[in-house]
Amino acid sequence: KPQDFAENLALNRTIGFLGIELPDGTGKKYLDFWLANKDLYINMKGAEKVAVLRSYPSMAYNNLETQIAVNMSEQALQQRQIPFDIIFDQQLNQLDKYFVLVLANQESLTDKSIEVIKQFVKNGGGLVLTENTGKFDGWRRLREKSMYQEILSESKLDDNPSLKEEKMFTYGNGHVIYLPLIIKPKGEVKLGFESIWMMPENTNELESAVYWAAGRRLPLQVKAPDWVGISHDEQEGREIIHLFSYNNTKNAGGITLEYNGKVKKAWAVSPDYEGKKTIPFTAEGGTTVIRVSDLAVYEIIVLEK
């Protein structure tokens, strides 16, 4: 399906597997588009300012509740068009490039991981943590104090908080918000190859938590139907925004992009039409606003700075 190719191009920056024979039809259409516009997929870096941690001991020692929490968090961010990276323990030393770290029920964290995360927040980063995050160490042994309790105690706040209440506070130069639960909707849960990705019932709270924890405006804010996905890259002198739709029955409209910066020119390319098209935009203070009235399946918007 074209949606599969669009998702691959937007999130993986490559066309994906096309089989062992020369593609035709939709496959050839997207391969030709990728080859013709390959300069938009190379020599770039991700501009995402939100990271979701998949900690190995957390995901390995409890591969039901932690997996469900992470899946729902990622689905909420995707459907609310908040560009994010998935990171692992090895990437914790790169936190300084993010505004917000999301710890969705990451129960088992090593002492080193906790210290790195705490320093990230003290330096001005934002932290969203849920449920039993940091309750256990890297071997899933119960800690005397959870990570949440430690941070509260060091902030001169209650170090024996209720785990059923949301709490938001500052820690060093950063912001911390605790959500007691990512609420699973009713229905069967399937993981692995049969994963069913679900939006949590408290998606609004999770979305608001990310924006509050950032403590500043994210580089890109998007309003779009929840079946529209997004990714955001940077190249020298320009921003590259990938929009794609999961809906194969109708086009998406009413999409608004707010880029936190000034641009000189905006244009777009898509496998759904020929050539480049100029994109109108308005400047509101230091923000550039772009409105997309019609998205078929996949479009790249380039902002020249």
pLDDT tens for 154-170 read: 988 876 777 889 999 99
Q: What is the DSSP letter of 216?
A: S
The per-residue pLDDT for range 216-225, each reduced to its tens digit, is 999 999 999 9
The per-residue pLDDT for range 195-205, each reduced to its tens digit, is 667 889 999 99
Is residue 194 pLDDT above 90, yes or no?
no
Report residue 116's pLDDT band, with 50, 70 and 90 as the boundaries. very high
The structure tokens listed for 43 are 């020599």
Distance from C-alpha of 106 to C-alpha of 150, rounded to nearest angstrom: 15
pLDDT attached to residue 10: 92
Higher pLDDT, 14 or 132: 132
CB atoms near residue 218 (< 10 Å): 20
pTM, entire model: 0.92
Is residue 17 pLDDT above 80, yes or no?
no
Pick from 90-94, 246-250, 269-273: least confident: 246-250
| Segment 92-118 mean pLDDT | 97
The structure tokens listed for 101 are 């770290």
Is residue 192 pLDDT above 80, yes or no?
no
3-state secondary structure of 214: helix
177 neighbors 167 (Cβ within 8 angstroms):
yes
pLDDT attached to residue 156: 84
Is residue 95 pLDDT above 80, yes or no?
yes
Is residue 211 pLDDT above 70, yes or no?
yes
Distance from C-alpha of 55 to C-alpha of 177, rounded to nearest angstrom: 19
Reference 81, options 259, 238, 215; nearest CA is 259
* Largest Cα span, the chain: 64
At 48, the amino acid letter reads E
Reference 271, options 19, 10, 45; nearest CA is 10
* Dihedral sign from CA coordinates of 165, 134, 201, 101: positive
Q: What is the DSSP letter of 266?
A: E
pLDDT attached to residue 186: 83
Rounded to the nearest integer, the mean pLDDT of the chain is 92
| Segment 66-76 mean pLDDT | 92
| Segment 228-239 mean pLDDT | 95
**For the CA atoms of the chain, what is the radius of gyration?**
20
